[in-house]
Amino acid sequence: MGPEKLAVIGGSGAYNLLEANALGKEIDCDIISTPFGPSAPIHKFCIDDKNFLFLSRHGEKDYSLTASFVNYRANIYALKKCGVETIVSWSGPGIISRAFRPGDFILPHDLIDETKTRESTFFKNRGYGFIRQSDPFCPEVRETLHQNFHNMNIPHHDQAVYVCTEGPRLETPAEIRKFRVIGADLVGMTLIPETFLARELEICYAPICYLTNFAEGTVKREYQEGELFEGMLADSEKKGVENAVQLFPEILKQALNKLTTLPRDCNCKNAMIRYKNKNMIDDDWTTWIGDI
């Protein structure tokens, strides 16, 4: 697969857009071999003469892989191998802050890590990787996405703290109360370790979140056996969530030109420069990888 600078990692519902051929003209598709095993299938699409790569995090045909078991290291390594410099991630977290509603678009600015068992670094048993996280998401990509939402007149929020849990189970009411106390606005399972792995390989990374439901205990909802989230998403809210997913191809189309020509004036591209200056690593990123 030829090199491309931009990749999109699709979350819940991405498989539906793949099946509907809603992401542009498909040019190629490949599964990339990595030291961590095979990546998810990586598709190459073209919209208005702009190429980008697309990876569906949870499966190709349906939700076949929960966030707990995604091979994040293989996926990020594969995208770097394909020449990717910028990743836009799409994720559907739940709502902790009552300022938000299902179907809202959010550009989160910060993270809380509540995962427990995931491999979260490429630098296992190495003496480097102390990377500052003052901006866990690339500020340059976030600002580009923010301006794109404005240009499209799509209401959105550009500040929120996302707490990432292990899953696959949903959170208890007490856990959600704890997360609210420590400052979380959203709760999901996918952005960690993706964003940290991308930074380790000096890739810019920022998410677009569309909100899927209220978290447990945030609003009173009766248990509905057999329903999505067992009734945590009301029927009246489902349409807003579905509309958010359907808008994603147009959001991407409008943002493509700027995303593929970003000057990369951010710090992401030099996340490992301290270790290069100390001659601990060189410019060949494939040699940075620690124990598998």
**Tokens matching residue 105:** 């678009």
The whole-number pLDDT of residue 16 equals 81
Tokens 């190459």: give the residue.
Answer: 44
Q: Which pLDDT belongs to residue 146? A: 97
**CB contact set of 246 (below 8 Å; sequence gap of 6+):** none
Cα separations in angstroms, 151 against 40, 104, 131? 33, 17, 33
- pLDDT score of 154 more than 80: yes
End-to-end CA distance of the chain: 25
For residue 13, name the pLDDT band (cuts at 50, 70, 90).
confident
- The DSSP letter of residue 268 is G
pLDDT digits (tens, 9 = 90+) for 70-115: 999 999 999 999 999 999 999 999 999 999 999 999 999 999 999 9
How, if at all, do strands 204-210 and 86-91 pair? parallel
The pLDDT of residue 2 is above 70: no
pLDDT tops 90 at residue 17? no
The residue written with tokens 């960690």 in the block is 192
For residue range 237-290, list pLDDT tens digits in order. 888 888 898 899 999 999 998 998 899 999 999 999 999 999 999 999 999 999
Domain ranges of the chain: 6-287
CATH superfamily label, 6-287: Nucleoside phosphorylase domain (3.40.50.1580)
State percent of the chain over pLDDT 70.
99
82 near 42, Cβ under 8 Å? yes
